[in-house]
């Protein structure tokens, strides 16, 4: 591998594990992740059947057509398997602990599953009638203070980002979409994070997770790095409330604010992460957010990024990506697919170190060079 190729690869660990311990870990990992894939795939299949029935009573929607190749189920399973294999390798290399993604009691699982299926007809109705502005029609409340682009029923989800019910259902819905692989995609950036922390005292590292939602990355990051403190920022008070409830650590603090107007002084953070935000932002706002990330990062600091694949990242997936905004209300996704993130970041002094596709996501690290 040449020097140019090396630059494009995320760091890897190199701790060796005794064979028996390794076998026990692998079995535990396979059982946990395998049961998650099965659970969410079953929900996805049941949802598909439900939608088929519901659609008979709903207005016809335009035919959904892919613009490019769509990977087979087999190919997608192979990519999920590769993602999990890399994830397990990182655990074995001692980069982060064995994940306990979305562990729920039987009661919680039953309640969430019930809430999920209760919401399916609502999502189908919005999709069929093009109703993606319901959150905007509700009586005045805190929603009015939020930017217009944000006040929409993204994904046709009930209440958009604006209720605790939506926040409690969000992770489950996303996992149904991504066959239980969401958390492993987020963890891609824990590898470079571990590498950064190797050279530092964790207690002195200032970390910010932008658009932290219910804490999907902040929580595992603080679990992986036990002396690290982190700030989770989001515009949704209800999502932050759920993040607070689930985090159970004093090392996490939360700020309700806009990513495009960060309430921090210049050069405040060593590491900033951002997961699944950029595809939900209008192009102008994306640029503002990057300018803000650059402003509040320290020189030499890292911006760790995870979001959807873009067109051309993995050409076999291009058609699948083009289906997403036809199925879900994702008003800014098509512009995201074509956005040149490397040069947008570079314009703000954030140089791309590496980028790696992982199933339907891309993970990357940008370093502030000026």
Ligand X SMILES: C[S@@+](CC[C@H](N)C(=O)[O-])C[C@H]1O[C@@H](n2cnc3c(N)ncnc32)[C@H](O)[C@@H]1O
Site residues (vs ligand X, CB under 6 A): 150, 161, 186, 211-213, 216-217, 234-236, 239, 258-260, 275-277, 280
CB 186, min distance to ligand X, A: 6
Nearest to ligand X of 166, 322 (CB atom): 166
Query: Residue 87 CB, nearest distance to ligand X (Å)?
Result: 16
CB 331, min distance to ligand X, A: 12
For residue 104, report the phi and psi dihedrals to the nearest 5 degrees. -130, 155
Choice between 29 and 333, CB closer to ligand X: 333
User: What would the two tokens of residue 108 be?
Assistant: 């919680």
Distance CA 325, CA 73 (A): 20
Q: At its nearest, how many Å lie between ligand X and the CB of residue 110?
A: 23
Closest-CA residue to 210 (of 291, 300, 272): 272
Buried b (16+ CB within 10 A) or exposed e, 28-58: ebeebbeebbebbeebeeebeeebeebeeee
Structure tokens at 292: 């803000």
Nearer to ligand X, 186 or 329 (CB): 186
Q: Say which DSSP state 331 is in.
A: T
* Minimum distance of ligand X from residue 256's CB (angstroms): 9
Q: What are residue 72's phi and psi, to 5 degrees?
A: -75, 165
Q: CB 359 → ligand X: shortest distance, Å?
A: 14
Based on CB atoms, which residue is closest to ligand X, 92 or 155?
Answer: 155
The Cβ of residue 94 has, within 10 Å, a number of other Cβ atoms equal to 13
The nearer residue to ligand X, 76 or 218, going by C-beta atoms, is 218
Given the DSSP bridges, would you call strands 361-368 and 297-308 parallel, antiparallel or unpaired?
antiparallel
φ, ψ (nearest 5 deg) of residue 60: -65, 140
**3-class SS at 263?**
coil
Residue nearest to ligand X (CB): 213
Closest approach, Cβ 259 to ligand X, in A, equals 4
User: Looking at beta carbons only, is 127 or 279 nearer to ligand X?
Assistant: 279
HEC secondary structure over 254-283: EEECCCCCCCCCCCCEEEEEEECCHHHCCH
Cα–Cα distance measured from residue 345 to residue 170, given in angstroms and rounded to the nearest whole number: 29
The residue (of 10 and 160) whose beta carbon lies closer to ligand X is 160
């Amino acid at each position: 591998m040449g020097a140019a190729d090396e630059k494009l690869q995320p760091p890897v660990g190199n701790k060796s594990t005794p064979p028996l311990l390794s076998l026990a870990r692998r079995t535990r990992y396979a059982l946990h992740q395998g049961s998650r894939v099965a659970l969410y795939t079953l929900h996805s299949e049941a949802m598909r059947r439900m939608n088929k029935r519901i659609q008979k009573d709903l207005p016809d929607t335009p035919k959904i057509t892919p613009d490019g190749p769509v990977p087979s189920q087999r190919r997608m399973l192979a990519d999920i398997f590769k993602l999990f294999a890399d994830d397990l390798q990182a655990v074995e290399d001692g980069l982060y602990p064995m994940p306990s993604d979305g562990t729920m009691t039987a009661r919680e699982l039953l309640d969430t599953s019930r809430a999920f299926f209760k919401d399916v007809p609502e999502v189908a109705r919005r999709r069929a009638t093009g109703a993606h502005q319901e959150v905007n029609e509700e009586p005045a409340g805190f929603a009015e203070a939020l930017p217009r682009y944000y006040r929409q029923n993204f994904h046709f989800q009930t209440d958009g980002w604006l209720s605790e019910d939506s926040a409690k259902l969000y992770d489950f819905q996303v996992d149904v979409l991504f066959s239980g692989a969401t958390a492993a995609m987020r963890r891609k950036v824990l590898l470079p994070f571990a590498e950064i922390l190797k050279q530092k005292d964790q207690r002195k590292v200032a970390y910010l997770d932008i658009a932290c939602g219910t804490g999907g990355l902040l929580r595992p990051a603080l679990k992986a790095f036990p002396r690290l403190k982190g700030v989770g920022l989001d515009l949704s008070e209800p999502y932050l409330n759920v993040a607070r409830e689930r985090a159970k650590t004093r090392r996490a603090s939360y700020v309700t604010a806009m990513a495009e107007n960060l309430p921090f002084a210049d050069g405040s953070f060593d590491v900033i992460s951002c997961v699944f935000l950029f595809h939900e932002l209008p192009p102008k706002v994306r640029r503002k957010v990057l300018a803000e990330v650059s402003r509040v990062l320290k020189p030499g600091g890292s911006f760790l990024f995870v979001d959807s694949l873009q067109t051309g990242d993995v050409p076999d997936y291009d058609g699948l990506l083009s289906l997403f905004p036809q199925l879900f209300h994702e008003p800014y996704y098509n512009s995201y697919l074509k956005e040149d993130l490397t040069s947008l970041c570079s314009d703000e002094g954030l140089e791309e170190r590496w980028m790696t596709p992982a199933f339907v996501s891309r993970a990357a690290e940008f370093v502030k060079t000026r």
